[in-house]
Structure 1
Amino acid sequence: MAPPVTFRPRGGAILAAIAIAICAIGLAYVAVTEGVVSLVTWAWPIVAVAWGAWLLYIRPSVRVTDGFVEVRNIVRTYRVPWGDVEDIDSRYALTIQTVDGRRIRAWAAPAPGARQAMTTRREEVTRTPGEGDTRRPSDARGTSSGDAAEVVRRAFETYQREGGTVLPGGTVTTWDIPVIVVTILLVAGAILTLVLPHG
């Protein structure tokens, strides 16, 4: 049994870490210069920015195991057993198509922008899984969609070749309620902080 592989784009995580660090410095600055009362007041928008950076760039992931591929987006998680996978595409983002026609796009693996796509050379995608006519710049190694698609396609090919564990119940979609609640509270607190007068 192969160990699970989790994919997160490195560039987004670096940007999020920088944003979170700046927010932490901001909180410390407010605490030192303005005191605890101001910290409690202004913590809402600052923490909301840090939370947003984590939510958009660190939380999303694609996890590949012997039995399934799990796509974690901002507030929803999809667990797709290999037996439910019909096709794997990367045109706009890593997309898992299920046998019942659902298309699940991975926030963690977007396709490259137009500039990167136009500068991608054909040889950069020749060694990626898939047939030559169907491969495109979004399949290239070094792109978020291409790197994730390669991992998912190789695992799916292994499943098709050797068989594997099929989890009962088919594809499962989970709304991440705690994340939704925290997001709503932080956004509401940030808006109130910015709108209400402070004396």
Structure 2
Amino acid sequence: MTPSVVFRSRGSVVLAAIVIVLAAVLAVSALVVGWPPSAAVAFAAVGWGAWVLYVRPCVILHEDAVELRNVARDVTIPYGAIDDVDTRFQLNITAGGRTYRAWALPAPSGGRAKRLSDVREGQRPGDSPSTLSGAAALRLRQSVAGAERTDAPVIQRTSALVLGGTAAIAVLLLVLSLLGL
């Protein structure tokens, strides 16, 4: 049994860490200074929202399937059910006539794409193995090539709406606390 491989943007994790630490400091400060408790709750919710938006999204390559963890939905697709893997704009997986997008693995920006030295003629910058989306796409394509094709794709969708809703609540609480409510 091979271990699962997780692909997640390092920049997103760094950004989330900064926001979470700042939110924690502000939450404690709000309590010490004597602001309403709703302000501390709002700052804590912003920290939680940063985790939901920036740390939770990832692509996990398991032994027999790929799992896309996005903000509002998780999708698990067996390798044998995958029809196509594409890196235009972000990692996209087509299976069963539908396209599933990985929020966590965007293609490189225009400036970064121009600096890539390993992109061949006619190749998308997102397919470069030196990018996160390209490295994931390469490993995913290798797994798909070695998988036995399934006629009826079994695709599991797990709603993670609670996590997405939490991020919206965090923003709402922050606005309410700033308005003094």
**1:129 alignment counterpart:** none
Question: What is the alpha-carbon distance in structure 1 between the residues aligned to residue 110 and residue 177 of structure 2?
Answer: 39
**2:157 alignment counterpart:** 173
**2:138 alignment counterpart:** 150
Question: What is the alpha-carbon distance in structure 2 between the residues aligned to residue 4 and residue 104 of structure 1?
Answer: 20
Summarize deviations over 1:127-156 as a string: whole Å, max 9, x none.
Answer: xxxxx75x3211113322112212222222
Question: What is the alpha-carbon distance in structure 2 between the residues aligned to residue 156 and residue 125 of structure 1?
Answer: 22
Question: What is the alpha-carbon distance in structure 2 between the residues aligned to residue 155 and residue 125 of structure 1?
Answer: 22
Q: Report % sequence identity.
A: 35
Summarize deviations over 1:60-82 as a string: whole Å, max 9, x none.
Answer: 01011121101010110011111
Question: What is the alpha-carbon distance in structure 1 between the residues aligned to residue 73 and residue 110 of structure 2?
Answer: 28
**1:14 alignment counterpart:** 14
Q: What is the CA-CA distance between 1:179 and the residue it aligns to? A: 1.4
Summarize deviations over 1:81-121 as a string: whole Å, max 9, x none.
Answer: 112100101111011011x2211110110001111112222
Question: What is the alpha-carbon distance in structure 2 between the residues aligned to residue 17 and residue 169 of structure 1?
Answer: 38
The answer to whether structure 1 residue 65 and structure 2 residue 62 are counterparts is yes
Give the conservation status (yes or no) of the 8 Å contact 1:27–1:39: no
Q: Detail structure 1 runs of 4+ shifted over 6 Å in the superposition.
A: none
Question: What is the alpha-carbon distance in structure 2 between the residues aligned to residue 18 and residue 80 of structure 1?
Answer: 33
- Partner of 1:156, secondary structure, is helix
Structure 1 unmatched runs, 5+:
127-131
- Partner of 2:146, secondary structure, is helix
**2:175 alignment counterpart:** 191
Structure 2 unmatched runs, 5+:
none
Aligned residue identity for 1:8 = R
Question: What is the alpha-carbon distance in structure 2 between the residues aligned to residue 10 and residue 24 of structure 1?
Answer: 21
Q: What is the CA-CA distance between 1:196 and the residue it aligns to? A: 4.2
Q: What is the CA-CA distance between 1:39 and the residue it aligns to? A: 5.4
* Distance change (3 Å), C-alpha of 1:180 and 1:52: closer
User: Structure 1 length as normaliser, TM-score?
Assistant: 0.79
Give the conservation status (yes or no) of the 8 Å contact 1:108–1:144: no
Q: Which has the higher contact order (CA 8 A, sep 6+)?
A: 2
Q: Is the deviation greater in 9-18 or in 145-154?
A: 145-154
Equivalent residue for 2:115, pick from 107, 119, 130 = 119
Pair member with larger Rg:
1
**2:166 alignment counterpart:** 182
Q: What is the CA-CA distance between 1:48 and the residue it aligns to? A: 3.2
Question: What is the alpha-carbon distance in structure 1 between the residues aligned to residue 168 and residue 19 of structure 2?
Answer: 20
